[in-house]
Amino acid sequence: MRHRFDHRKLGRKKPHRKAMLANMVTSLFDKERIQTTDEKAKEARREAEKLITRAKKGHAAHKEHETLKEAGKEAESKNLQAVALAHWREAGRVVRNRLVLRKLFEELAPQYMERPGGYTRIVKLGNRRLGDNARTVLLELVGTKVTSAPLVRKAKKKGEKEEAAGEGKAKGKKKAKEKKEGKIDEKKEGRGKSKSAGYKREGRQKRPAGA
């Protein structure tokens, strides 16, 4: 039974896990797309969704504060200003970079004002991480300029591939020609190819004939 089990520990103590998730969320808001493991992405997504909701509330309170201030309602305006400042400070406990925090409140929050939730998505990748064979995923924000563009891996053009193949063939022909003319000693060339080449056990002698 999964009683009293709220989160993944990720093999780290609480301070380390808290700092790691804060750094991941900050990078997500800054780059709008990060690559990580599946388990880390699910935990970072929870923190990111909460922060975006908080930023939406703070942005709405700030806009209403400006409206009431222009209307001359100073008392109500100051109350909403305090609410907006409280949301800013609470988000700043996680996102320590002020430029990224400003981007969250002034750029990202207005984009999601009409969206009730689901600000992020996880895209599973086909490859696995070397070393521990962990599944890698992309954690990205939804509906931004960076993530709306198709994700295309850089590939060589057809002309570049043909040129590389032609260079490889030319090198092979040149090497074969040098071998034929005797410029390359095949015995010397083959010495370093395998460690077992020319290996002889020490102390072993040939058995005498007729033994």
Q: pLDDT tens digits, residue range 37-83?
A: 999 999 999 999 999 999 999 999 999 999 999 988 889 999 999 99
Averaged over 75-103, what is the pLDDT? 95
Domain coordinates of the chain in residue numbers?
Answer: 14-148, 158-187
* Phi and psi torsions of 94, nearest 5°: -100, -50
What pLDDT does 152 receive?
67
Q: Looking at this protein, which amino acid is placed at residue 109? A: A
What pLDDT does 196 receive?
47
Helices in the chain by DSSP H: which ranges? Answer: 14-31, 38-71, 74-92, 98-103, 109-111, 145-148, 158-181, 186-189
CATH fold of 14-148 reads 50s Ribosomal Protein L17; Chain: A, (3.90.1030)
Provide the sign of the torsion angle of the four alpha carbons 4, 8, 11, 13, taken in this order.
negative
Structure tokens at 199: 């290996």
Residues in CB range of 104: below 8 A, 6 or more apart: 29, 51, 52, 55, 91, 95
> How confident is the model over 174-210, as pLDDT tens digits?
777 776 676 555 555 555 544 444 444 555 555 556 5
What pLDDT does 37 receive?
93
Higher pLDDT, 211 or 129: 129
Residue 16 has pLDDT above 50, yes or no: yes
